[in-house]
């Protein structure tokens, strides 16, 4: 059933925002004065700060003045001077009174004013005062002037030297959001939390939309590169927009982990922040002449911040969009004002649709924080400006490496700090060997690939994931080179356009057209509607091209039929435009003429693909293996489509199987061509794969004697192969190993029994020490009735109940998260009902206890 994240009534994901609002509202305790009141009246869920009374204003003003060190210093100096002065005065007055006794009566007594009475003394005093003030000012000149640059415009003044309280010594203006915004004159900051690139790409697209449709100046921010504390310094005239993905089991993404830890603590599941220590947010009034009168409240340090938020999640996961919900709560509890609805995008349905609905509601509200007025929708070619400037070079500089993801070369492995191997700095590892696990007659091809960690000793633990950056296949690379009329081998240099919001560099500023297309850009994902409007349409000069693109933008069904259903690639879309123009005999001067720099904006960066590591670090610490099914499918209109990473793995396998192949281009068994050897080759004339390890929570019990039950059909066997190899290795080394049960399923035993020989060997050893250790298979198509792992579980209910309930064993699921894992959980609960004689409710609580005691774990993917 399709759920509508934005329009659904009560109980829908959108309503979460109002729940959040109610549960987290704190009494307003700040005095606010001045002109700033964001107009967010159309958002009924947003917080408002009422206009304060004159009395409040006055107190607030006094408090603000007293808090400023600058005014406090002068206040003190004035008070001291006044004290000296008044004491001197009273002394002089006494003398005056006394001396008057001796004055002639006819001389009129002067007015009591000291200045009138004692001209000379007043001058002396003024001279003394000037000297004191001058000397003190000179002595404290850095304090008085160094941190305060007064400005009169509405942009907050940022002082580069002014350090936030938390990190006086390590303050880096380049990590200060507000400073960056000020420096670039930007009024919207888009902060993305992204694991596999979707949120990052949405940020890029939304920045473009806000800029082109609303004239916003947008800064795109990877929170890993900025300090959380600088959030409190964003001007109240501006707005922060969060685009936040979920990973793991309801966890924040790696690039947001530090921000979450500081804001929410290590336990994202609790919504209680009362005991949490506050991050050291900075009082902007101490650092600058902050625009809009503002009172910093240490308990509501983000009262200054306006924010909008869209979460990316998948409703098949238990903790749907949890980080987004918790972040919203936390920001609001710190006083930040929510602008617009909380968007909860669902990848199980269509995240782009959800995002479009959310932007429809949020963008106009966000635009109210943009000082210049909205310019409306206009796609004139002059307005769109690509983020990168691409220049062709005559020759490739000798030392330029045009294709590597990580600048260091393999030979320098010893100089690499392994803690720096991450998504931004993947490591090149060499493939060692591979084999096909399925029979040639199987409908699917599943590959076992081993990767060498010998050079780097990258640590991993059994159950972790490896992320792998793939290379694109040549058909799509060449199609793009062809439709853009480019020479692929031409060296190019890349630099940012002056006003680019997207400042994420490519690994190398010098590359080649084909290298960019092979290694850095995703050239197969269908082009979203907003990118057609903002990037492609400005290049359409002929009426037929404009009409075609406008129809794609305006007509949802047409877009679905032309683009989504056939999974049309960007190259094919551009080719289509050319074909339409050719058919309509468009003259050369009006033909669609797309540039490579615009193409960089049109395409997302290529994202890493995750694989469950199928080896054990105990048995093989210096190599990891993966188990991947090659993705090939036909669209409803019968077009063959190919998964990027798995066909790349297939190509690596084919290359490893034919080591004598000398050609630069290799063809896989599916006739896909790959160029693996050009830019990623190393001294050994071998090619390397960029990877990094992602820690998971999918772990064997620390005590090997604890029983385990694993359910992993298809490639869901991957981490369990690692688990079993580990237990087999322990058993061989005379370590007592507890009962080990694997439920494995696939289509046919003769074609798809993955790792059959080694499983039988391992289980022969494991079962000799424990009779309950066994592999139980379900081959769905080997008989008339379909049999799945759940059916086998039911048959072995007593064993499962005994191992998990009576012997405190651990239960694991891996593989398809859409249906299989749900069916397996339902079966497990039924086993608890039947074997444990529990009613439905108690069986559910039994399962919850299993989870809460870390005896249930899943590693599933949709």
Ligand X SMILES: Cc1cc2nc3c(=O)[nH]c(=O)nc-3n(C[C@H](O)[C@H](O)[C@H](O)COP(=O)(O)O)c2cc1C
Phi, psi of 832, rounded to the nearest 5 degrees? -65, -40
Of residues 750-809, those binding ligand X (CB under 6 A)? none
Position 115 contacts ligand FAD (CB under 6 A) = no
197 binds, among ligand FAD, ligand X, none (CB under 5 to 8 A by kind): ligand X
Within 10 Å of residue 432's Cβ, how many Cβ atoms? 16
Closest CB to ligand X among 287 and 346?
346
- Among residues 164, 252, 284, 313, the one that binds ligand X under rule CB under 6 A: 313
- Among residues 43, 229, 254, 347, the one that binds ligand X under rule CB under 6 A: 347
- Closest residue to ligand FAD, Cβ-based? 643
Under 8 Å between Cβ of 856 and 708:
no
Where are the strands (E) in 620-672, listed by range?
623-629, 632-634, 640-642, 665-667
SS3 content of the chain, % helix, strand, coil (to 5): 40, 15, 45
Closest CB to ligand X among 13 and 730?
13
- Among residues 207, 628, 676, 778, the one that binds ligand FAD under rule CB under 6 A: 628
Alpha carbons 674 and 668: distance in angstroms, whole number: 8
- Among residues 42, 633, 758, 819, the one that binds ligand FAD under rule CB under 6 A: 633
Residues 6+ apart with CB under 8 A from 830: 794, 843
Position 644 contacts ligand FAD (CB under 6 A) = yes
Under 8 Å between Cβ of 273 and 211:
no
Residues 6+ apart with CB under 8 A from 713: 743, 744, 745, 746, 778, 788, 789, 815, 816, 820
Alpha carbons 502 and 509: distance in angstroms, whole number: 15
- Beta carbon of residue 506, minimum distance to ligand FAD (angstroms, whole number): 20
Per the listing, tokens 């916003």 go with 216
612 binds, among ligand X, ligand FAD, none (CB under 5 to 8 A by kind): ligand FAD
| DSSP 8-state symbol, 374 | P
Residues 6+ apart with CB under 8 A from 595: 386, 390, 484, 539
The number of residues making up the chain comes to 862
Of residues 227-246, those binding ligand X (CB under 6 A)? 245-246
Position 816 contacts ligand X (CB under 6 A) = no
Of residues 538-597, those binding ligand FAD (CB under 6 A)? 567
Closest CB to ligand FAD among 384 and 473?
473
- Among residues 52, 247, 255, 668, the one that binds ligand X under rule CB under 6 A: 247
- Beta carbon of residue 342, minimum distance to ligand FAD (angstroms, whole number): 25
Position 604 contacts ligand X (CB under 6 A) = no
Closest CB to ligand X among 195 and 655?
195
Of residues 387-426, those binding ligand X (CB under 6 A)? none
- Beta carbon of residue 721, minimum distance to ligand FAD (angstroms, whole number): 10
Position 476 contacts ligand X (CB under 6 A) = no
Interface stretch with ligand FAD, choices 328-336, 502-510, 609-617, 740-748 (CB under 6 A): 609-617
246 binds, among ligand X, ligand FAD, none (CB under 5 to 8 A by kind): ligand X
77, two tokens:
């100096």
Alpha carbons 522 and 472: distance in angstroms, whole number: 8
Position 351 contacts ligand X (CB under 6 A) = yes
- Closest residue to ligand X, Cβ-based? 313
Transcribe 816-857 into DSSP letters: ETTTHHHHHHHHHHHHHHHHH---HHHHHHHHHHHHHTT-EE
Alpha carbons 78 and 231: distance in angstroms, whole number: 36
Position 198 contacts ligand X (CB under 6 A) = yes
Residues 6+ apart with CB under 8 A from 326: 260, 264, 268, 271
Alpha carbons 756 and 749: distance in angstroms, whole number: 9
- Among residues 217, 230, 253, 472, the one that binds ligand X under rule CB under 6 A: 253
319 binds, among ligand FAD, ligand X, none (CB under 5 to 8 A by kind): ligand X
825 binds, among ligand X, ligand FAD, none (CB under 5 to 8 A by kind): none
3-state secondary structure 504-565: CCCCCCEEEHHHHHHHHECCCCCCCHHHHHHHHHHHCCCHHHHHHHHHHHHCHHHHHHHHHC
Site residue total, ligand X (CB under 6 A): 23
Position 249 contacts ligand X (CB under 6 A) = yes
The Cβ-side half-sphere exposure at 731, using a 13 Å CA radius, reads: 22
Position 326 contacts ligand X (CB under 6 A) = no
Exposure string (b/e) for 724-763, b if CB count within 10 Å is 16 or more?
bbbbbbbbeeeeebbbbbbbbbbbbeebbbbbeeebeebb
- Beta carbon of residue 257, minimum distance to ligand X (angstroms, whole number): 13
Residues 6+ apart with CB under 8 A from 398: none
Position 456 contacts ligand FAD (CB under 6 A) = no
245 binds, among ligand FAD, ligand X, none (CB under 5 to 8 A by kind): ligand X
- Beta carbon of residue 347, minimum distance to ligand X (angstroms, whole number): 4
631 binds, among ligand X, ligand FAD, none (CB under 5 to 8 A by kind): ligand FAD
Position 196 contacts ligand X (CB under 6 A) = yes
- Beta carbon of residue 567, minimum distance to ligand FAD (angstroms, whole number): 6
Question: Where does this chain bind ligand X (CB under 6 A)?
Answer: 194-199, 245-250, 253, 312-314, 317, 319-321, 347, 351, 861
Which residues form the interface with ligand FAD (CB under 6 A)?
465, 470, 567, 609-612, 627-629, 631, 633, 643-646, 715, 718, 861
């Amino acid at each position: 059933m399709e759920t509508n994240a934005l329009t659904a009534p009560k109980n829908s994901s959108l309503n979460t925002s109002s729940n959040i609002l109610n549960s987290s509202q704190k009494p307003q305790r700040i005095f606010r004065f001045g002109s700033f009141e964001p107009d967010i009246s159309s958002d009924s869920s947003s917080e408002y700060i009422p206009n304060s009374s004159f009395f409040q204003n006055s107190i607030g003003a006094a408090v603000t003045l007293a808090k400023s060190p600058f005014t406090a210093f002068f206040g003190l100096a004035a008070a001291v001077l006044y004290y000296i002065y008044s004491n001197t005065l009273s002394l002089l007055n006494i003398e005056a009174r006394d001396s008057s006794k001796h004055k002639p009566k006819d001389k009129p007594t002067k007015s009591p004013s000291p200045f009138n009475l004692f001209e000379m003394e007043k001058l002396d005093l003024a001279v003394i005062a000037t000297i004191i003030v001058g000397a003190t000012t000179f002595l404290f000149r850095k304090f008085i002037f160094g941190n305060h640059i007064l400005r009169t415009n509405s942009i907050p003044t940022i002082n580069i030297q002014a350090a936030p309280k938390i990190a006086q010594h390590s303050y880096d203006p380049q990590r200060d959001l507000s400073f960056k915004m000020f420096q670039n004159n930007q009024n919207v900051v888009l902060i993305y939390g992204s694991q596999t690139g979707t949120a990052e790409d949405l940020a890029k697209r939304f920045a473009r939309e806000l800029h082109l449709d609303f004239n916003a100046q947008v800064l795109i921010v990877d929170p890993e590169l900025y300090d959380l504390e600088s959030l409190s310094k964003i001007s109240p005239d501006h707005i922060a927009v969060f685009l936040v993905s979920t990973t793991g089991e309801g966890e924040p993404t790696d690039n947001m982990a530090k921000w979450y830890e500081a804001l929410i603590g290590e336990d994202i599941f609790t919504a209680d922040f009362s005991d949490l220590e506050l991050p050291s947010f900075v009082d902007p009034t101490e650092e600058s002449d902050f625009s809009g009168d503002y009172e910093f409240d240490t308990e509501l340090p983000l009262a200054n911040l306006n924010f909008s938020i869209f979460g990316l999640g998948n409703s098949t996961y238990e903790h749907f969009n949890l980080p987004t919900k918790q972040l919203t709560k936390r920001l609001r509890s710190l006083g930040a004002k929510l602008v617009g609805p909380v968007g909860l995008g669902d990848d199980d349905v269509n995240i782009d649709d959800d995002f479009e609905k959310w932007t429809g509601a949020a963008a106009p509200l966000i635009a109210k924080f943009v000082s210049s007025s909205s310019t409306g929708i206009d796609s004139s070619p002059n307005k769109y400006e690509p983020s990168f400037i691409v220049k062709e070079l005559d020759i490739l500089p000798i030392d330029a490496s045009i294709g590597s993801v990580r600048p260091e070369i393999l030979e320098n492995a010893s100089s690499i700090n392994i803690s720096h191997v991450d998504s931004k700095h993947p490591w090149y590892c060499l493939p060692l060997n591979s084999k096909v696990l399925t029979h040639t007659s199987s409908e699917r091809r599943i590959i076992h690939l081993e990767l060498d960690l010998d050079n780097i000793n990258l640590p991993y633990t059994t159950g972790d994931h490896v992320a792998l950056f793939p290379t694109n296949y040549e058909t799509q690379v060449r199609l793009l080179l062809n439709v853009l009329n480019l020479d692929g081998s031409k060296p190019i240099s890349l630099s940012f356009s002056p006003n680019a919001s997207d400042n994420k560099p490519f690994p190398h500023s010098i590359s080649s057209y084909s290298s960019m297309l092979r290694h850095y850009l995703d050239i197969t994902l269908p082009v979203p509607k907003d990118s057609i409007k903002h990037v492609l349409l400005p290049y359409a000069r002929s009426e037929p091209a404009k009409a075609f693109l406008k129809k794609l933008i305006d007509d949802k069904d047409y877009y679905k039929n032309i683009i989504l259903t056939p999974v049309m690639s960007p190259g094919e879309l551009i080719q289509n435009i050319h074909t339409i123009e050719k058919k309509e005999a468009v003259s050369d001067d009006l033909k669609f003429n797309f540039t490579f720099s615009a193409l960089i904006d049109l395409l997302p960066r290529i994202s890493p693909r995750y694989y469950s590591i199928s080896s054990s670090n105990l048995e093989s610490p210096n190599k990891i293996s993966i188990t991947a099914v090659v993705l090939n499918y036909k669209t409803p209109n019968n077009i063959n489509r190919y998964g990027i990473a798995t066909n790349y793995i297939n190509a690596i396998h084919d290359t490893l199987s034919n080591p004598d192949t000398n050609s630069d281009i290799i063809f896989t068994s599916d006739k896909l061509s790959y160029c693996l050897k050009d830019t990623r080759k190393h001294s050994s004339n071998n090619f390397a794969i960029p990877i990094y390890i992602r820690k998971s929570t999918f772990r064997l019990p620390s005590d090997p004697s604890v029983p385990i039950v694993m359910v992993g059909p298809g490639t869901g066997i991957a981490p369990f192969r690692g688990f079993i190899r580990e237990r087999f290795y322990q058993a061989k080394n005379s370590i007592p190993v507890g009962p080990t049960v694997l439920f494995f399923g696939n289509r046919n035993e003769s074609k798809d029994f993955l790792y059959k020989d080694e499983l039988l060997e391992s289980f022969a050893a494991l079962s000799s020490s424990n009779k309950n250790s066994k592999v139980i298979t379900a081959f769905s198509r080997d008989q008339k009735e379909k049999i799945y792992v759940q059916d086998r579980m039911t048959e072995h209910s007593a064993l499962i109940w005994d191992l998990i309930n009576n012997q405190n064993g651990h239960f694991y699921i891996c593989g398809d998260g859409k249906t299989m894992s749900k069916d397996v959980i339902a079966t497990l609960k039924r086993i608890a009902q039947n074997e444990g004689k529990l009613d439905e409710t108690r069986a559910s609580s039994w399962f919850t206890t299993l989870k809460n005691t870390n005896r249930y774990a899943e590693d599933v993917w949709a």
